[in-house]
Amino acid sequence: MQFIRPEILRPPSEHDSYFLPLTSGCSNNTCAFCSYYGSKLQLRDVNDAKREVDALALYVESGICLSDMPPIVYAISRGWDGKRIFLQDGDALVYPFPKLKEVLEHVNRKFPALERIGSYATPQDILRRSLGELKELQKLKLGIFYMGVESGDEDVLKAIGKGIGVRQMIEAGRKVKDAGSILSATVILGLGGVAGSTKHALETAKILTAIDPDFVGALTLTLVPGTPLYQQWQEGRFSLISPFQSLKELKIIIENSAFTDCFFSSMHASNYLSVRGQLPQDKQRMLNTLESVLQIGDSSLLRPEFLRGL
């Protein structure tokens, strides 16, 4: 079957990267809120991926475009600074290890000055890899993994079909760190609904403390039509928290978590307010910002609904 190149869905911090697809879809396509829900995982042929790397190298060296390469390759290359590559798609770490190594070795040969390679990874993918394998990947510059923690609340993880519990989630996060790689964790405000809001936030602070990631990105739940959570909401079985409640959750998470050294942000377009800082040192400043917006309670201080994105 022909590999269908996925749309570019990437973490905000990868905006300058070249996007190299190794897979399409997500191997764990059961998360009730996610646009990858029900997606069919496709693995790209390794030689096909290497051909794209060759084409990219040729373009960077000499500006030559090959007619058999899709135009998107050159559209991305034009704005590329040559420093980072992001492997698509929803969990590129699921790509079979020997093939992943082969592609990474090829990338390293063609771009020796590359600074880093990143990918999304499910906790299941991480647990499937040995520590030694993760270290090998790190040596080949696949050194940052974006893992969706979503919540530290066991009930929420179950309800959203994450397919993994709190203990394994912590194990996966710690494993990335033990391998010497960078871990960026994502959590989703509002995932516990109105009734579970405070518990979701408190438990999320706990799991983040236990994992101690290098980066945390907080997103705010945005319902995607066609997903089970969207349907639950339509049927009145799930209630969305208000924009100000999302700030309260953010405040609870920042207040109750303890990190060694973590860049924490809510810069993602789904959020109603962007706060960011290095924790622990910026904790009070971030809490003060949230508290003052909560106290004023003026929705003009928040990102308008029409400007929110996934």
Please give the residues from 146 up to 175 whose contact with ligand SF4 meets the rule CB under 6 A: 148
Q: Would you say 41 and 26 are in contact if contact means Cβ atoms under 8 Å apart?
A: yes
Give the residue with the Cβ less far from ligand SF4, 19 or 37: 37
Give the residue with the Cβ less far from ligand SF4, 193 or 277: 193
The correct pick among 13, 17, 24, 28 for binding ligand SF4 (CB under 6 A) is 28
Q: Would you say 149 and 173 are in contact if contact means Cβ atoms under 8 Å apart?
A: yes
Q: Would you say 223 and 33 are in contact if contact means Cβ atoms under 8 Å apart?
A: yes
Q: Would you say 244 and 190 are in contact if contact means Cβ atoms under 8 Å apart?
A: no
Peptide bond into 12 cis (omega under 30): no
| Contacts for 182 with CB less than 8 Å, ≥ 6 apart | 143, 144, 145, 176, 214, 215
Listed ranges 27-35, 75-83, 230-238, 239-247: which one lies at the site for ligand SF4 (CB under 6 A): 27-35
Give the residue with the Cβ less far from ligand SF4, 172 or 275: 172
Gap between the Cα atoms of 157 and 189, Å rounded: 13
Please give the residues from 250 up to 279 whose contact with ligand SF4 meets the rule CB under 6 A: none
What's the min distance (Å) between Cβ of 123 and ligand SF4? 8
| Contacts for 102 with CB less than 8 Å, ≥ 6 apart | 46, 50
Per the structure block, which two tokens stand in for 259? 């990190």
Give the residue with the Cβ less far from ligand SF4, 192 or 277: 192
Count residues contacting ligand SF4 (CB under 6 A)? Answer: 11
Does 29 help bind ligand SF4 (rule: CB under 6 A)? yes
Gap between the Cα atoms of 291 and 44, Å rounded: 48
Please give the residues from 198 up to 227 whose contact with ligand SF4 meets the rule CB under 6 A: none
**Which pairs with CB-CB distance under 8 Å and at least 24 residues apart come from 283-289?**
283/254, 283/255, 286/254, 287/251, 287/254, 287/255
Side chain identity at 143, as an amino acid letter? G
Does 122 help bind ligand SF4 (rule: CB under 6 A)? yes
Give the residue with the Cβ less far from ligand SF4, 88 or 138: 88
Rg from Cα positions in the chain = 20
What's the min distance (Å) between Cβ of 37 and ligand SF4? 6
Listed ranges 30-38, 44-52, 57-65, 211-219: which one lies at the site for ligand SF4 (CB under 6 A): 30-38
Does 26 help bind ligand SF4 (rule: CB under 6 A)? yes
Give the residue with the Cβ less far from ligand SF4, 36 or 238: 36
The correct pick among 90, 118, 143, 213 for binding ligand SF4 (CB under 6 A) is 90
Interface residues with ligand SF4 (CB under 6 A) are 26, 28-29, 31, 34, 36-37, 90-91, 122, 148
